[in-house]
Amino acid sequence: MSIAVSLKKKLKYFDLDISFSCAKKNMVVMIGPSGGGKTTIIRMLAGLEKPKEGKIVFGDEVWFDSLRHVNVPPQKRRLGYVFQDYTLFPHLNLYENATFAAVDKKEVDELFELFKIGHLKKRRPQMVSGGERQRCAICQALARHPRILLLDEPFSALDAITRRGLREELKSLKGRMSFPIIYVTHDITEALYLADELLPVVDGKIDNQWLQRMITREPSQEVALRAAREPRLTLVY
């Protein structure tokens, strides 16, 4: 199942106007400067916010159509969503969190092994590290057999090493899944590593020129200095 999206919404500093699609088994990565509307787009896909105008069609299901007043609530869209933080319920332990909406509890055990957090099953979210929490959040989302997976800067709050590790796991996971994945990040390197398709979003609109500028511009003095200070990180992946 693939998803076709066209959205318009008036935001505080700019108007959001964007159309794109994502085929199944594909990962579309939305990149762009902070505050550009990426999170709003993802939230509209999830049904947590309403576009002023537009249409969201998943396969042959219409999730949103402003002309015909269709708005399927998030509960019915059956998607997976990993926030940057706070996806896990603090009153449940990691295992209970992952099985919260799971289709098959046994799968959860497998997922936990896959993401190497099997030994933390009984711990509460407050008692594990950020990276472990995000792993659990991904398990929670996957356990639901989502038809599409949305990730909003899931690793931004983590340290560079953990981030790199999780990125690799996600990429290998993607190969095995058959649903579309939409991933939001502001880290270009991460985007280049993960994406099948890149979607640069600047001030609420797709701006392919921006990406070109980012990649091919002459490294500024600042970038050159940084490269000198942190050689390994700038050449990451």
Q: How far is CA 158 from the centre of its chain?
A: 15
Please select the residue that binds other proteins; options are 46, 111, 148, 195, rule is CB under 8 A: 46
Residues 20 and 4: their CA atoms lie apart, in Å, by 6
Please select the residue that binds other proteins; options are 22, 55, 58, 87, rule is CB under 8 A: 87
- Residue 25 Rama label (left phi>0; alpha psi -120 to 50; beta): left
* Contact status: 78 vs other proteins (CB under 8 A): yes
* Contact status: 81 vs other proteins (CB under 8 A): yes
| Count, residues near other proteins per rule CB under 8 A | 22
CB of 165 to other proteins, least distance (A): 24
Stretch binding other proteins (CB under 8 A), from 5-13, 51-59, 64-72, 85-93? 85-93
Nearest-Å Rg of the Cα atoms of the chain is 18
Please select the residue that binds other proteins; options are 93, 134, 140, 185, rule is CB under 8 A: 140
CB of 188 to other proteins, least distance (A): 26
CB of 175 to other proteins, least distance (A): 24
- Under DSSP, is residue 168 helix (H, G, I), strand (E, B) or coil? helix
Identity (one letter) of the amino acid at 222? E
* Contact status: 100 vs other proteins (CB under 8 A): yes
Q: Which of 176, 180, 149, 191 is nearest to 32 (CA)?
A: 191
Q: Which of 215, 197, 212 is nearest to 20 (CA)?
A: 197
Binding site for other proteins (CB under 8 A): 46-48, 73-75, 77-81, 83, 86-91, 100-101, 140, 144
